[in-house]
Amino acid sequence: MATMTFCPRCANRLTEKHDGGRDRQACPDENCGFIHFGDFSIGCAGVVLREDTDGPRALLVQRGQNPFAGSWQLPGGYAEHDESLSLAVEREVMEESGIEATVNDVIAFRHSVGGSIGGPSTNVYIVFRLNLIGGEPKIDGDEIADVGFFSLDEMSQMEAVQGLSRWAIEKALGTAPGQGLTADSVGPGADRPGWQLFGLDLPDPMLR
């Protein structure tokens, strides 16, 4: 777990406290009560498919900066602390590729711990399927070196296509839109400010 030295609430030097079955960094001031659970981040990426005359193609961007400069992957990035995941992935797709697309469903996620990908010690990476709205691929002139729509066959001939991205694209191609987790506007808490609910779209029991 990543370590801290001082309490971010009251600036006391943190000590060790046994909490929740394990030792954690905590503030010694009982009136403060801060406990450090580690560093976390949430990433998101979007599978955007375009149907061409010879079959479907998926949107990929080529990283222009390290880490992994030159590699091809799904457009995506980190969600801001005050940003819903669906808005975050739509923003990242537009920023990195110039393509406008809207969230359809969640098709996969990856959980990594121990800083295995660099950055915060724990990361959750959510992969969405997006509906293509419009636009033509264009680079941002900063993080992205190239962008385009590619078939699986074309990806096989390209160098440094991220395995996780190809895996997610294959998941999207093998399922119908809406078969993943979709936004639920009527579930408990769905109308609560700052909340976003995703769940399986269950069939009508009367149709079974």
Tell me, yes or no, whether 65 and 17 share the same domain: no
* Domain, as residue range, for 70: 41-177
The answer to whether residue 125 sits within a structural domain is yes
- Token output for 142: 């900063």
Structure tokens at 109: 């996620």
**What's the whole-number mean pLDDT along residues 119-142?**
88
135-163 residue pLDDT tens = 999 987 778 999 999 999 999 999 999 99
| In a shared domain, residues 67 and 103 | yes
pLDDT digits (tens, 9 = 90+) for 6-43: 999 999 999 998 888 889 899 999 999 999 888 888 99
CA atoms within 13 A on the CB side of 201: 14
CATH code assigned at 111: 3.90.79.10
How many structural domains comprise the chain?
A: 2
Average pLDDT over residues 94-119: 87
Under 8 Å between Cβ of 45 and 74: yes
Does 49 share its domain with 95? Answer: yes
pLDDT given at position 115? 62
Both 75 and 139 in a single domain? yes
In this structure, are 7 and 78 located in the same domain? no
Identify the pLDDT of residue 117. 54
Q: Please check whether residues 34 and 48 belong to one and the same domain.
A: no
Check whether residue 159 and residue 73 sit in a common domain. yes
> The pTM is what?
0.86
Query: Which distant-in-sequence residues (6+ apart) come within 8 Å of 197 by Cβ?
Result: 183, 184, 185, 187, 188, 189, 190
Q: How far apart are CA 87 and CA 102, in angstroms?
A: 9
Instruction: Identify whether residues 47 and 136 lie together within a single domain.
Output: yes
Rounded to 5 degrees, what angle do the CA atoms 55, 183, 166 make?
A: 35
DSSP one-letter code for 100? E
Least confident span in 42-51, 110-119, 183-192: 110-119
CB proximity list for 27: less than 8 A, separation 6 or greater:
7, 9, 10, 12, 14, 15, 33, 34, 35
Residues 137 and 150 in one domain: yes
Q: Where are the alpha helices (DSSP H) in the chain?
A: 85-97, 152-156, 163-173
- What integer pLDDT is reported at residue 71 of this predicted model? 96
